[in-house]
Copies of this chain bind each other. A is one copy, B any other.
C-alpha cells in the first residue's frame, strides 16, 4: 500500500498521467480505497480520483468517510458532482448532503430526478441519529397472496433491474403499506413453490420506528443476529430498512463518541462519523474547540484544590514534609476514579448495569474501593512512616488514602450516572469533573487529618 502511494506520487511529479491512470484502474478495488483513505485530505487524491473510470470512482466514493467525500465533491465541476450524487444510495446521499454547505446541497438536490429528490428529502426530514435518518428506502416488499414461485420471480426481476440494499429479507405489506410479516430468501428457497407468502411469513418480527435512536437500532441488529431490521412510521407503515453493515459502523461511531465524551473532548464536528478524524486531521482551532472547554474546568478545579492547600499554609510551613504526599493522594484518587468510571460506562453500554440495578452495583463498587483503600492505604502508610520518620504521618496517609480511594470509586460510578440521568449525551466530561471533586475533597481530608494528628503528636 505504501509502495502504491510512492509510485503514485512519482507518477504525479513526473506528470506521467497515462501510466497513473492505467495503474489506478487496474489495482484491486480495496487497495484503491485504502489509498484514498491513506491520502486523506491530500490534494493529490482529487487528481487521481478524476483519473478513475466512472464505475470505480463511485465504488471508491461510497466507501469513504463523509468528510473525505465532501472534500472530493467540492473540488469537482457541478456536472461531475451531480453524476456521483445521482448514483449514490439514498441513505448515503442524505448523509452526504447533510454535511455539505447548505447552498451546495440545495443546488445538488434540485438537480436530482423527482424520485431521487423525494427519497433523499424524506430521509433528511428525520432527526439526526435516528432510524429514519440512517434507513434506506430501497427494500423489497411484496403482497401476502403471492405464491413462493411468483414471489421468487418478482424478487429476481427487482434484483436485476433495481439495486435493492438486500434481497435476503423480503417485507410483506398490506395495501396501506402496513408491515404484516417478513420472509427471508432462505425461507422462500426451502418452501413449497405453491405455498402463499402468508402461510410462511414470520409475523413476530423485530422492528423499530423512524424516531428510534440509531444506537438502539444497531444494538438490536447485534443482539438478535439480524441482517436487516424494518423501520415503521407512526401508523406502522414500512418506510425503510437498516442493514447490518450500517449497524456496525454506527456501533463504532457511538463507541468513539462515548469514549471521547468521557475524557471531555467536545464534539465540534457535525460529522458524527468523523469525530476521531476531525481531531486527527482537523485544524488547530478545531483541536482547541474540542479540548480546551473541559481543560478550563480542570484549570479552575485545580485552582480550587490550590485554595484548599492555601488554607493550610501554616501547617505546610511548619512541616513541609506534608507536601511530599500530595501527589500520592491526588494520583491514587485519579487512577482509581478513572478505572471506576471506565467500568461503569462500559457496563452501562453493554447492558450489565441499568438504572434499576444501579444502587446494588454502586454499593458493591464502594466496597471494592474501601477494600482496595485499606490494602493500598496501609502500604503507603508504612512507606510514609519509615521514609519521613514523622510519627503519625503514616497513619494520616493511610486514613486519607482509604477515604480518597473509596470516594474515587463512588464518584467514578456516581458522576457518569448523574450525567446520564440528567440527559447529557452519555457521560460527557465525567473524568474532568471527577478529577476536580476528588482533588478538592481528597486534599481537604488529608490536610484536616494532618492538622488533627500532627498537632497531637508533634
Q: How many copies does the complex hold?
A: 2
For A121, list chain B residues within 8 Å (CB): none
For A308, the closest partner residue in chain B by CB is: B327
A46 adjacent to chain B (CB < 8 Å)? no
For A379, list chain B residues within 8 Å (CB): 296, 299
Report A345-367 CB contacts with B as 1/0, cut-off 8 Å.
01100111100100001000001
Report A239-255 CB contacts with B as 1/0, cut-off 8 Å.
00000110111011001
Tell me the bound Cα distance from A170 to B327 in angstroms: 61
Shortest CB–CB separation between residue A368 and chain B, in angstroms?
A: 5
Q: Which of A167-216 contact B (CB under 8 A)?
A: 167-168, 185-186, 189-190, 204, 206
For A414, list chain B residues within 8 Å (CB): none
Knowing A155-B189, A277-B352 touch, does A295 contact B376 (C-beta < 8 A)? Answer: yes
Q: How extensive is the interface on chain A, given as a class? A: 35 or more
Q: Are A156 and B190 in contact (CB under 8 A)?
A: yes
Q: Are A288 and B155 in contact (CB under 8 A)?
A: no
A260 adjacent to chain B (CB < 8 Å)? yes
Q: For A251, give its contact among B252, B329, B330, B361 (CB under 8 Å).
A: B252
For A324, list chain B residues within 8 Å (CB): 306-307, 309-310, 313
Q: Are A327 and B306 in contact (CB under 8 A)?
A: yes
Q: Are A190 and B306 in contact (CB under 8 A)?
A: no
Report A23-61 CB contacts with B as 1/0, cut-off 8 Å.
000001010000001000000000000000000000000
Q: Which of A9-17, A74-82, A99-107, A315-323 contacts B (4 or more CB under 8 A)?
A: A315-323
Shortest CB–CB separation between residue A399 and chain B, in angstroms?
A: 16
Q: For A256, give its contact among B224, B338, B350 (CB under 8 Å).
A: B350
For A156, list chain B residues within 8 Å (CB): 189-190
A225 adjacent to chain B (CB < 8 Å)? yes
Q: Which of A290-336 contact B (CB under 8 A)?
A: 291-292, 294-296, 298-299, 301-303, 305-307, 309-310, 313-314, 316-317, 320-321, 323-332, 334-336
Residues of A with Cβ closer than 8 Å to B? 2, 28, 30, 37, 63, 152, 155-156, 159-160, 167-168, 185-186, 189-190, 204, 206, 221-225, 227, 244-245, 247-249, 251-252, 255-256, 259-260, 263-265, 276-277, 279-281, 284, 287-288, 291-292, 294-296, 298-299, 301-303, 305-307, 309-310, 313-314, 316-317, 320-321, 323-332, 334-336, 338-339, 342-343, 346-347, 350-353, 356, 361, 367-368, 371-372, 375-376, 379-380, 383, 387, 431-432, 435-436, 439, 443
Q: List 16 A-B contacts (CB under 8 A).
A: A30-B206, A160-B190, A168-B186, A263-B339, A265-B339, A280-B347, A280-B353, A284-B371, A292-B372, A299-B379, A302-B328, A302-B332, A305-B331, A309-B324, A313-B321, A316-B316
